[in-house]
Structures are given as C-alpha cells and as structure tokens.
C-alpha cells in the first residue's frame, strides 16, 4: 500500500471524456491475473504484476484504474473465475434467469451473452424460456458447459470485440464483464453501432456496484482485472449517452451488483443527467478504503486471541486482493475453496495454498474469514457438517 497521494487532476474519463480527480488510493505490484491457476508456489509468486491508481470522473462519476495496462491481463482456459460451485450462487443465477424470462416474455427467443464463462447463466436462461443462446468467452471449456433439457445454446471460445459480427438477438446480456474493459465508452458505443437500426434487442448488463465498495471500504473488491467501476448513475449515463433508453438499473445479490436493462433508443437518446462525483466524495472513498486496509492488516496479523490458524474461505480475486493489498500472507494459514479446479493450487502473488473444505478437520482453524458475506450461511452449514468449530467472520456487511 502506497502513501495516500495529494489530490491530482486527471483528464480523459474513459466513459465520457470528462475531467477527473485522484482518489488517493494506489497500490503497486498487484497480480495482473487474480484467478489463473498455478500449481506451484514459485509459479504463483513469479507472475506479471501491475499498479492500481484510482481516479473518479467529476462529470459522470465513473471510477477507473489510471495505471491499467490491458496487455498484462490474459483470459485463457486456465482462467478459473466461476462461482457456480456454490448452491447460493446457482440459486441466484436461476432466479435471475426466471425473472428476466417472466418479466420480458423471453420464450423461444435468441439470446446472446458476451463474456459467458462456461455458459452457466446462458444455460439457465435458455432452459427457463426454451431459448436459443450464443455465448462468447475466450476462457470457455466445452467440457465444463452445463447440459440442459429444454432450449439450446452454443459458445464460441473467443472474445467479443470490434471484429465480431453480432448474431441476430432478441436479448443481449453481459454479466461481470464490462468492469474488465478499460475503454467502456468505446465498447458501449460499438455495441450500439453493431445493433444498428434493424432490431430492438433488450440489453442487460451486470457489474459490481461502486456504491457498496465505497460505503464498506471494500478494498478486496479492487483488483487489477477490474479496471472500471460504476455507480448506478454512471452506468445509466454511459448507456444513455450512447443511444440506449435505460429501463431500469437496480442493485442485486446482497447489494453487490448493479443490473441495468436498456433497449436501443429510437431517437438519438436522452442527454444524460450530470451525476459526477465531487472532489470530496472521491477523497472520502479513498480514505475509507485505506482505513479498511489498515484495520484488516491489524486484525489478520493479530494472533494474541489464540494460537490457532486463520483461514480464508473463497480462493478468488477477493482473497488475492486482500492478501496482496495488506501483504499479510504470513498471517494466513491457507485458503479454502469448494471449486475442485482450484484445490491444491497456489494463489497468485502471495503463493498461499488452496485446500478443500475437508482439510479443515485437521487444520482446526481459530477463525475462518469468508471473502463474500453472502456465502456465510452456506459456509456455516458446511463447517457444521465437517464438525469444525471455529469463529466465522464475513468481510464487509453480513
Ligand atoms: Zn466521465
């Protein structure tokens, strides 16, 4: 963690080209890829790293990492980001698919998903409405795709970019992907251009909600791959500025996500409302993040309460961000993950080992820190099943 910087003016918001200011939140040498699998500690420790230096737009409220270099990030078949081993997450996917099918009559329709992972959500929405889906994702593995009884889908293991021809679509969705892109203005205007004037597909985007990150000081949600952060206002403004009518933009999944629904505007689109952050908001968010870094560093290094080990539960980007931002790998005995592809791997940067939940029977942890509080209930049940008694702490608000 670097020392807080004084306020610095920035220019060129990637969403609206507006003027921006620094949050004074900067970290050096974080892993460029948080969820790639490494099978040895040395491989996990010798990886490409980059810097984070957040700025916020005074015109539209968009937040981004000004030090981001897209060439350092690689999305390939060893990119392991799925949350779908969790029953809680699968229920959320199913409920979201059912709601969209019901609310917008998505039956026997053509669905396109940009950044579909292994097709977990695409499968749900195609099955729920007997739809036909086409997904795009360079990290897709055919043997990991779910099979469905009704509807059908196919996935192209390639990125969706300026060279991609958009298949005919009634519904275009893009979940947990836009925050990985640096040129968000260019992406949304490009999408509007390829939709053209011919069709009026509904467009559904989901991204992490900056409002929650700022309110909780959730620094574990700030990592290199996520170079772009949105508030409901800045996400809405981005789509309105680029020729969409925004129908709704709401929080979901325990306030963690923003879900935006839009359709192409018939006219040139409404001019977006001014919704920028003030200097004070940016500085306050930066301070809140730094304060949480200090508190968690102290807490995880404090072994005075007992001699037992501390375990993190959830070996994804949040754990990587927590361990590298606080630089407290020595304070953590290991990380548990229910995804079998992650078990026995080593986390990028810190080199902390990932283990299966069953390993806790012999580890006997003093405390388990749950990386996403939405899984606390599911994890408590699993610990009880394993007959492991320990303190369970959720990051952020439970
Ligand atoms: Zn802006």
Per-residue pLDDT reduced to its tens digit, 300-342: 877 655 667 899 999 888 998 999 898 777 788 899 998 888 8
Minimal CA–CA distance to 110: which of 131, 92, 94, 127? 131
Quick one: 187 and 258 in the same domain? yes
Final residue in a domain of this structure, among 210, 242, 264: 264
Residue 392 is predicted with a pLDDT of 93
3-state DSSP assignment of residue 30: strand
Report yes or no on 347 lying in a domain.
Answer: yes
Count of CA atoms in the C-beta half-sphere (13 A) of 312: 29
Q: Which CATH number fits the domain that encloses residue 360?
A: 3.40.50.720
What spacing in Å lies between the alpha carbon of 276 and ligand 1's midpoint?
Answer: 7
Distance 57 CA to ligand 1 centre (A): 5
Which residues, 6 or more positions from 82, have their beta carbon under 8 angstroms from its beta carbon? Answer: 117, 118, 120, 144, 339
Residue-wise pLDDT for 273-289, tens only, equals 666 667 788 889 999 99
The pLDDT value recorded for residue 304 is 54
Average pLDDT for 8-18: 77
Same domain membership, residue 249 and residue 139: yes
- The confidence score (pLDDT) of residue 4 equals 35
Structural domain boundaries, residue 377: 304-394
CA 238 to ligand 1 centroid distance, Å: 8
By CB atoms closer than 10 A (0-12, 13-18, 19+), residue 345 is buried
Alpha carbon of 202 to ligand 1 centroid (Å): 24
CA of 281 to the centre of ligand 1 (A): 15
Q: Ligand 1 centre and the CA of 3: distance in Å?
A: 26
Same domain, 251 and 365: no
DSSP calls for 343-369: TT-B-TTT-PBEE-GGGHHHH--SEEE
How far is ligand 1, taken at its centre, from the CA of residue 295, in Å? 31
On whether both 314 and 366 belong to a single domain, the answer is: yes
Q: What integer is the mean pLDDT of 203-220?
A: 95
CA of 102 to the centre of ligand 1 (A): 34
DSSP-derived letter for residue 332 is: -
Mean pLDDT, residues 131-137 taken together: 96
- Cα-flanking dihedrals φ and ψ of residue 279, to 5°? -55, -45
Tell me, in angstroms, the distance from the centre of ligand 1 to residue 20's CA: 7
pLDDT score for 316 = 86
Is residue 65 situated within a structural domain?
no
CATH number of the domain that 259 lies in? 3.40.50.150
Residue 2 has pLDDT above 60, yes or no: no
How many CB atoms are closer than 10 A to CB 45?
A: 16
Is the residue at 239 inside a domain?
yes
Residue 286 lies in a domain: no
Q: Is residue 29 part of a domain?
A: no
Residue 174 lies in a domain: yes
The answer to whether the CB of 287 falls within 8 A of the CB of 308 is: no
Strands 63-65 and 49-57, how do they pair? antiparallel
| 139 & 188 share domain | yes
Both 104 and 250 in one domain: the answer is yes
Q: Return the number of other C-beta atoms located less than 10 Å from residue 43's C-beta.
A: 15
Task: Give domain status of residue 273, yes or no.
Answer: no
How far apart (Å, rounded) are the C-alpha atoms in residues 223 and 220? 7
The last residue of one of the domains, among 232, 249, 264, is 264
**191 and 96 share one domain:** yes
Taking the C-alpha atoms of residue 355 and residue 339, their distance in angstroms, rounded to an integer, is: 10
Instruction: Answer whether residue 181 shows pLDDT above 80.
Output: yes
Flag whether pLDDT at 86 surpasses 60: yes
Convert the pLDDT of each residue in 105-118 to its tens digit. 999 999 999 999 99
* 315 in the same domain as 174: no
117 and 242 in a common domain: yes
Could you tell me the distance, in angstroms and rounded to a whole number, from the CA of residue 58 to the centre of ligand 1?
A: 7
Final residue of a domain: which of 264, 289, 324?
264
Say yes or no: 175 and 309 in one domain.
no
Q: Which residue has the higher pLDDT, 176 or 87?
A: 176
pLDDT digits (tens, 9 = 90+) for 45-78: 888 999 999 999 988 999 999 999 999 988 766 6
Residues 215, 164 within the same domain? yes
For the chain, how many structural domains are there in total?
Answer: 2
Q: Rounded mean pLDDT of the chain?
A: 88
Q: What is the pTM of this model?
A: 0.89
Would you say 337 and 314 are in contact if contact means Cβ atoms under 8 Å apart? yes
Q: How far is the CA of 240 from the centre of ligand 1 (A)?
A: 13
Say if 116 falls within a structural domain: yes
């Amino acid at each position: 963690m670097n020392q807080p910087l004084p306020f610095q003016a920035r220019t060129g918001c990637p969403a609206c080209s507006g003027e921006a200011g620094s949050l004074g939140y900067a970290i050096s040498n974080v892993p460029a890829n948080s969820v790639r699998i490494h099978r040895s500690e040395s491989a996990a420790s010798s990886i490409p790293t980059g810097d984070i230096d957040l700025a916020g737009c005074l015109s539209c409220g968009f937040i981004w990492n000004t030090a981001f270099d897209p060439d350092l990030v690689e999305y390939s078949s060893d990119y392991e980001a799925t949350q779908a081993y969790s029953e809680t997450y699968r229920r959320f996917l199913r409920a979201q698919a059912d709601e969209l099918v019901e609310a917008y009559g998505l039956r026997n329709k053509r669905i396109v998903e940009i950044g579909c992972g292994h097709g977990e959500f695409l499968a749900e929405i195609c099955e729920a409405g007997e739809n036909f889906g086409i997904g795009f994702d360079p990290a897709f593995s055919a043997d990991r795709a779910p099979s469905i009884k009704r509807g059908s889908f196919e996935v192209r293991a390639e990125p969706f970019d300026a060279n991609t021809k958009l298949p005919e679509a009634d519904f275009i969705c893009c979940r947990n992907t836009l925050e990985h892109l640096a040129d968000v203005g260019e992406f949304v205007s490009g999408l509007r251009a390829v939709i053209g004037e011919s069709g009026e597909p509904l467009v559904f985007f989901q991204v992490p909600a900056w409002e929650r990150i700022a309110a909780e000081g959730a620094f574990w949600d700030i990592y290199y791959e996520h170079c772009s952060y949105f508030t409901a206002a800045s996400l809405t403004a981005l789509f309105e500025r680029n020729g969409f009518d925004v129908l709704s933009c709401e929080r979901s999944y325990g306030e963690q996500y923003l879900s935006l629904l839009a359709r192409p505007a018939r006219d040139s689109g409404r001019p977006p409302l001014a919704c920028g952050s003030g200097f004070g908001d940016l500085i306050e968010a930066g301070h809140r993040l730094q304060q949480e870094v200090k508190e968690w560093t102290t807490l995880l290094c404090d072994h005075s309460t007992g001699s037992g080990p501390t375990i993190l539960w959830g070996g994804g980007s949040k754990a990587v961000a927590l361990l590298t931002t606080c630089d407290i790998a020595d304070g953590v005995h290991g990380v548990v993950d229910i995804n079998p592809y992650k078990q026995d791997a080593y986390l990028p940067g810190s080199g902390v080992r990932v283990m299966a939940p069953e390993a806790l029977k012999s580890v006997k942890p003093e405390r388990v820190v749950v990386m996403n509080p939405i899984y606390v209930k599911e994890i408590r049940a699993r610990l009880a099943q394993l007959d492991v008694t320990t303190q369970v702490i959720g990051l952020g608000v439970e």
